[in-house]
Amino acid sequence: MTMTTAPKPRDRRPFTATEQEARLPEGAVACLSCGQAVAHPAPGSLSTLSVWPVNASAAAQRGEALAPSELSVGRCEDCAARHARAVALVTVLGLGSIPGTGEVEADRLDAALAALDVIGHRGDSTAPLTRTPGEARDLIATLAHLGGGASWSARVIGGRGFGLCAPRRWAHVSTGQVTEIGAAYRDLFHRRMETPEQIGPPIENGVLPGCGFCGVGALYVRRSDAAAAWGLEVGVQPGQLGGKPTPDLLRCHLCPACRRAVEIVGAPGMPAVERALLAFADDYKPRAPWRVNFPADTRAWAALPLGTAPNRSPWSHLNVAKLRSELIRLEATGVVRHSLPGEPR
């Protein structure tokens, strides 16, 4: 992005309580997103919401049986175009690469774009925020929950607005919601303007100064993303990482690649260390057809003597070149290997 200051949300006069809702015209449905009445919903946009009475909880406590009412909603032309844009972006950016997740990701991205719509940014003006998969995911993480909460369907499901609509697009959204969306948008913009730099893990109170597995001492990230990149602090036992046992656990953080290995295997031990090492050594894929015999000195960086300096590059405390050569040889021979930790046997 070439801008250096965050574009301000377009000024919007807050609506009074009586201006937030209007009687739904006969034959029309409310837009499930912006809330305005739609006489001719976009094709395929009609859906049915189950609406419980506002006093459903109290009635249930009294033992009274209540049934939800069904309400048809649709999408107006603007919101249908925005949703179509979200569907197209999910396909282009590969956000729904796991089977069955495409529709979910499209709805989440649409909710994030709806939040921008609330503050006056829609269509091509949102393109700079969704140029890459990472940018789109960041947008979803920042704004999807706010856009979903601002939708008319959220208001109806919450027991309000049955048989009503918004007198104009987003008129039902409170001033507080608009303010919250605007603040989140500015934070997102400022994060995008940050310059990535080499940032080490948090090392307060004796935490090791590098990734507990690969030993890398810094990640090239934006400062606002550093805490998420390094993840939560974990306790590790050197004796389970290829080193000598110690009376107490060592505390460390893991880089994203090594953390993924732990998530797959399920625990921070040697199986996860080996998997993370293979991922680095040979862009390892679970279907690779060879058996891997790791060198006897394979260990995590946290298993080295205390005070060992962090690595400038991942796994530089090991002979990764030797492991790569072994992988090349095994691939050439076609030797079948046993399943690695975390894979079905």
Is 342 part of a structural domain of the chain?
A: no
Quick: pLDDT tens for 252-275: 999 999 999 999 989 999 999 998
pLDDT of 53 > 90? The answer is no
DSSP character at residue 242: T
Instruction: Name, in order, each residue with C-beta under 8 angstroms of 56's C-beta and a sequence gap of 6 or more.
Output: 66, 159
Is 340 part of a structural domain of the chain?
A: no
Quick: pLDDT tens for 165-214: 999 999 999 999 999 999 999 999 888 888 899 999 998 878 999 999 99
pLDDT for the residue numbered 338: 41
Count how many Cα atoms sit within 13 Å of the Cα of residue 275 in the half-sphere of its side chain. Answer: 23
Judge if 224 and 322 occupy the same domain.
yes
pLDDT for the residue numbered 55: 60
Quick: pLDDT tens for 235-244: 999 999 999 9
Mean pLDDT over each residue of the chain, to the nearest integer: 84
Q: What are phi and psi of 304, to 5 degrees?
A: -75, 165
Judge if 294 and 154 occupy the same domain.
no
- 22 DSSP β-pair partners: 165
Judge if 104 and 50 occupy the same domain.
yes
| Average pLDDT score over residue span 55-82 | 77
Lowest mean pLDDT among 18-22, 65-69, 176-180, 282-286: 282-286
Judge if 157 and 235 occupy the same domain.
no
Judge if 276 and 302 occupy the same domain.
yes
Chain centroid, CA 168 distance in Å: 32
Q: How many helices (H) and strands (E) does the chain have?
A: 10, 10
Judge if 46 and 158 occupy the same domain.
yes
Number of domains in the chain: 2
164, 193, 222 — which closes off a domain? 193
Q: What is the domain range of residue 209?
A: 198-333
Burial class (CB in 10 A: 0-12, 13-18, 19+), 132: exposed
Judge if 202 and 152 occupy the same domain.
no
> Distance between CA 341 and CA 345 in Å, rounded?
9
pLDDT for the residue numbered 85: 95
| 291 pLDDT tier (thresholds 50, 70, 90) | low
Judge if 82 and 205 occupy the same domain.
no
pTM above 0.75, yes or no: no
Sequential DSSP letters for 8-65: PPPP-PPPPGGGS-EEPPTT-EEETTT-BEESSPPTT--EEEEE--TTHHHHHHTT--
Tokens linked to 173: 């959204």
> Distance between CA 76 and CA 29 in Å, rounded?
9
133, 162, 193 — which closes off a domain? 193
